[in-house]
């Protein structure tokens, strides 16, 4: 009986020791990861993004479904273009329904509202009238650019009917291959980017917007629309 008690005590001590070892190893691994990404990797994109998030967290102006970086926060234009706030928006060139080519970079010098949408997306349908209303009021100061992503290659007429239904007059280009969709790391639709005059992303909105949301966003990131 005494030997059974002794064996039980020894097993319990062994389990406690093993737990301690696992905890120590886990802390060590986390320490190595932290050191690798945030200390030794001084030029890595993850480190830069981590520093940017810390440095600008106080400047993020959050709304119900969007975030905006104040126009006074420095941009990361010395870094590779990336679909994140304070980074230069990745450039692309696509054609519209008439075959005319549009690139994002051609609008530098003017703020851009970049809207990703699809014909099969109900929230996209909901926000289209507000996008058109904004363009009619502020099209001289801000360039609205729509990017349609419909995964079938034969939907041009469907897209045309969709745009005609809402009398859309601002440019809309077709991302038939999904190349730009992937470049912007999108996981759903609609998604909209507020891009300043230098081509830097300063606002991102997930889901449908109202016209006042668009206006408020540009008032936060640029001076082209008076508050």
Is 121 a catalytic site residue?
yes
224: which DSSP letter? S
Is 182 a catalytic site residue?
no
Could you give the CA distance from residue 144 to residue 147 in angstroms, rounded to a whole number? Answer: 10
Q: The tokens 């729509």 sit on which residue?
A: 146
Catalytic residue among 73, 89, 121, 191: 121
Could you give the CA distance from residue 200 to residue 70 in angstroms, rounded to a whole number? Answer: 12
Angle separating helix axes 122-138 and 211-221, nearest 10 degrees: 60
Extract the tokens encoding 105.
């970079």
Instruction: Decide: helix, strand or coil at residue 43.
Output: coil
Catalytic residue among 89, 94, 112, 124: 124
**Per DSSP, which regions of 20-65 are E strands?**
60-62
Could you give the CA distance from residue 134 to residue 142 in angstroms, rounded to a whole number? Answer: 9
Are 192 and 39 in contact by the 8 Å Cβ rule? The answer is no
Extract the tokens encoding 114.
């970049």
| Residues carrying an active site annotation | 121, 124
């Amino acid at each position: 009986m005494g030997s059974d008690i002794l064996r039980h005590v020894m097993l319990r001590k062994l389990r406690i020791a093993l737990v301690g070892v696992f905890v120590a190893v886990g802390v060590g691994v986390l320490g190595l990861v932290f050191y690798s990404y945030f200390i030794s990797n001084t030029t890595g994109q993850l480190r830069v993004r981590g520093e940017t998030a810390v440095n600008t967290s106080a400047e993020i102006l959050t709304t119900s479904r969007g975030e905006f970086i104040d126009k006074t926060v420095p941009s990361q234009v010395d870094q590779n273009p990336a679909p994140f706030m304070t980074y230069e928006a990745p450039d692309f060139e696509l054609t519209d329904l008439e075959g005319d080519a549009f690139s994002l970079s051609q609008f530098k010098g003017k703020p851009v509202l970049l809207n990703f949408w699809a014909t099969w997306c109900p929230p996209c349908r909901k926000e289209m009238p507000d996008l058109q209303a904004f363009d009619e009021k502020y099209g001289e100061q801000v360039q609205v650019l729509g990017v349609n992503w419909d995964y079938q290659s034969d939907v041009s007429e469907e897209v045309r009917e969709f745009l005609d239904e809402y009398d859309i007059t601002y440019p809309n280009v077709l991302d038939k291959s999904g190349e730009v969709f992937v470049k912007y790391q999108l996981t759903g639709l609609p998604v909209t980017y507020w891009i300043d005059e230098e081509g830097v992303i300063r606002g991102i909105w997930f889901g449908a917007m109202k016209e006042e949301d668009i206006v408020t966003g540009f008032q936060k990131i640029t001076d082209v629309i008076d508050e």
